[in-house]
Amino acid sequence: MASEIRDPGLWESGARKIEWVRRNCPLLRMTGEEFEKDQPFKGKKVTLSVHLEAKTALLCLTLARGGAEMHVTGSNPLSTQDDVAAALVHEGLDVHAWYGSTPEEYSSHIRNVLKPGPNIIIDDGGDLVNMIHNEMQDLIPGVIGGCEETTTGIIRLEAMNRAGALKFPMVRVNNADCKHFFDNRYGTGQSVWDGINRTTNLIVAGKIVVVAGYGWCGKGTAMRAKGLGARVIVTEIDPVKAIEAVMDGFDVMPMNEAAKVGDFFVTVTGCDNVIDTDDFEVMKDGAIMCNAGHFDSEVNMKGLRALAVETAEMRKNIMGYKLPTGQWVYVIAEGRLVNLAAGDGHPAEIMDMSFAIQALSARYLVEHGSELTEKLIDVPREVDRKVAEMELKFLGKEIDVLTPEQEKYLNSYDL
Ligand SMILES: NC(=O)c1ccc[n+]([C@@H]2O[C@H](COP(=O)([O-])OP(=O)(O)OC[C@H]3O[C@@H](n4cnc5c(N)ncnc54)[C@H](O)[C@@H]3O)[C@@H](O)[C@H]2O)c1
């Protein structure tokens, strides 16, 4: 089947974006060189569904250098960049995705990248894995395994695995140290504020920012809000995380209390209806909400649309809703991932580490998939360590090495 993209003529702009990323992604460059030499994916089909922008494109090209036949789609209708999709098609890859796809088009793109029969799956949020298990089971025997990029996808996979429904091994890429320590915390922290700032063009200093969820992404989002001069309130459901937020210097309260005082709201929980109709009703006039969690269900958009007596698009990616009580509240990018739907996603150097883990985990699956007994596995320790060592080298930093005596000391109990 031919590629399905918005406009093949946009490829030059996409190619420039990919070149910029390539210059700032030394780990993927090194991995690509290794792959080109060893051809680990020769004769293998790789189907990938990840937010389709320039960093993801570089991951696709890296896998293709290793011999993979690539079938590519996005993982969110609003994060696909049409020029990047065109650049990949120009490079000879099979791509099915466009910005602003309807739910039906999005599902059809997912189906069409799976149709060639993947050997390796690279997923972000679980849409490929769900589709193949629910509608395309005949393709399951050909799948060696897959890699899942994000927390939300892993939660779905864990539920499937508990129910005995997962039919091939999946690697929890998010759980690698070199993924969530850096991508979720520093990547989300920076790119969420990039998305909010470029979309709203408003000052953050002196405002009250409410961050829902104090996991890896929430910590980064709150830390950067503080750096911009905001007063930060955290909402949580986990008492330990709530204490952590307090000790980090933030206020903690339930969402319905925070809703009364917040200027900016960022949800980043992986849960749904975190900001609900009873919260909208008590918000200040002018409150701005956005979401950085994987799905667009963290702000109850259905409830907000039903409640609104008037709506108005205020700027690109900002929709206003007038509530029956008279105040206007605003939502960025329809409640979809703010850093991707209203920005360019994580910084290149961050995705360099995350995608090096993806690429090396995919190689691990090709080389060791048949030996795996578990359906849900962590990124092998040696892959995580290799990525950390490459990154440290790129940063120009050296660390100490244990002497044999120190190693013995650390491994003894009868000192
Ligand atoms: N925007 C991005 O680029 C990006 C990057 C990585 C992960 N993610 C997504 O962000 C979400 C969070 O990821 P994470 O790695 O921080 O997960 P995490 O598990 O480390 O943190 C989630 C936190 O949210 C809290 N929480 C859950 N339900 C809540 C609720 N109703 N109210 C308040 N707090 C609640 C949990 O207790 C937990 O502390 C996931 O959906 C993940 O897929 C987004």
Span 109-161, pLDDT tens digits = 999 999 999 999 999 999 999 999 999 999 999 999 999 999 889 999 999 99
Q: Based on the fold, state whether residues 258 and 214 are members of the same structural domain.
A: yes
pLDDT at 78 over 90: no
Closest ligand 1 atom, CA of 152? 43
Strand ranges inside 158-249, DSSP E:
170-172, 208-212, 231-235
What confidence score (pLDDT) does residue 49 get?
A: 97
CA 214 to CA 244: how far, in whole Å? 8
pLDDT at 1 over 90: no
CATH number at residue 260: 3.40.50.720
Residue 273 CA to ligand 1 center (angstroms) comes to 13
Q: Based on the fold, state whether residues 360 and 266 are members of the same structural domain.
A: no
Q: Is 47 a member of any domain?
A: yes
Q: Are 11 and 86 in contact (CB under 8 A)?
A: yes
Q: Is 401 a member of any domain?
A: no
Q: Based on the fold, state whether residues 111 and 27 are members of the same structural domain.
A: yes
Q: Based on the fold, state whether residues 123 and 265 are members of the same structural domain.
A: no
Nearest CA to ligand 1 atom 25: 213
Q: Is 63 a member of any domain?
A: yes
Q: Are 172 and 154 in contact (CB under 8 A)?
A: yes
The fraction of the chain above a pLDDT of 70, given in percent, is 100
Q: Based on the fold, state whether residues 34 and 92 are members of the same structural domain.
A: yes
Which residue from 52, 151, 248 has its CB within 8 A of the most atoms of ligand 1, so it is best to mutate?
A: 151
**End-to-end Cα distance, the chain:** 67
pLDDT at 415 over 80: no
Closest ligand 1 atom, CA of 125? 43
pLDDT at 58 over 70: yes
Closest CA to 366 of 28, 15, 68: 68
Q: Based on the fold, state whether residues 167 and 212 are members of the same structural domain.
A: no
* pLDDT tens, position by position, 149-202: 998 899 999 999 999 999 999 999 999 999 999 999 999 999 999 999 999 999
C-alpha dist (Å) from residue 112 to 3, 4, 95, 105, 136: 9, 9, 9, 10, 11
- Show the ligand 1 pocket: residues with CB < 6 angstroms: 150-152, 180, 184, 188, 212-218, 235-238, 241, 268-271, 274, 292-294, 337, 339
- The mean pLDDT value for 261-283 works out to 98
Q: Are 289 and 296 in contact (CB under 8 A)?
A: no
Residue 384 CA to ligand 1 center (angstroms) comes to 22
Structural domains in the chain (count): 2
Query: Please, which residues bridge with residue 69 across strands?
Result: 45
Q: Based on the fold, state whether residues 206 and 323 are members of the same structural domain.
A: yes
Q: Based on the fold, state whether residues 170 and 202 are members of the same structural domain.
A: no
Average pLDDT of the chain, as a whole number: 96
Q: Based on the fold, state whether residues 136 and 199 are members of the same structural domain.
A: no
Q: Based on the fold, state whether residues 358 and 301 are members of the same structural domain.
A: no
- The mean pLDDT value for 10-24 works out to 97
Give the position of tokens 């894995």.
Answer: 129
Q: Based on the fold, state whether residues 167 and 29 are members of the same structural domain.
A: yes
Q: Is 412 a member of any domain?
A: no
Residue 213 CA to ligand 1 center (angstroms) comes to 6
Nearest CA to ligand 1 atom 1: 292
Which residue from 50, 150, 243 has its CB within 8 A of the most atoms of ligand 1, so it is best to mutate?
A: 150
Residue 212 CA to ligand 1 center (angstroms) comes to 8
Instruction: Quickly list DSSP for 309-364.
Output: SEEEEEETTEEEEE-TTS-EEEEEGGGSBHHHHSS--S-HHHHHHHHHHHHHHHHH
- The mean pLDDT value for 245-254 works out to 98
Q: Is 376 a member of any domain?
A: yes
Domain that includes residue 363, residue range:
8-179+346-395
Q: Is 409 a member of any domain?
A: no
CA 75 to CA 340: how far, in whole Å? 11
Q: Is 415 a member of any domain?
A: no
Residue 14 in 3-state DSSP? Answer: helix
* pLDDT tens, position by position, 26-53: 999 999 999 999 999 999 999 999 999 9
Q: 414: pLDDT confidence band, cut at 50, 70 and 90?
A: confident
Closest CA to 83 of 70, 75, 71, 95: 95
Which one-letter amino acid corresponds to residue 76?
Answer: N
CA 257 to CA 162: how far, in whole Å? 36
Nearest CA to ligand 1 atom 21: 215
Residue 156 CA to ligand 1 center (angstroms) comes to 13
Q: Based on the fold, state whether residues 267 and 323 are members of the same structural domain.
A: yes
CATH number at residue 59: 3.40.50.1480
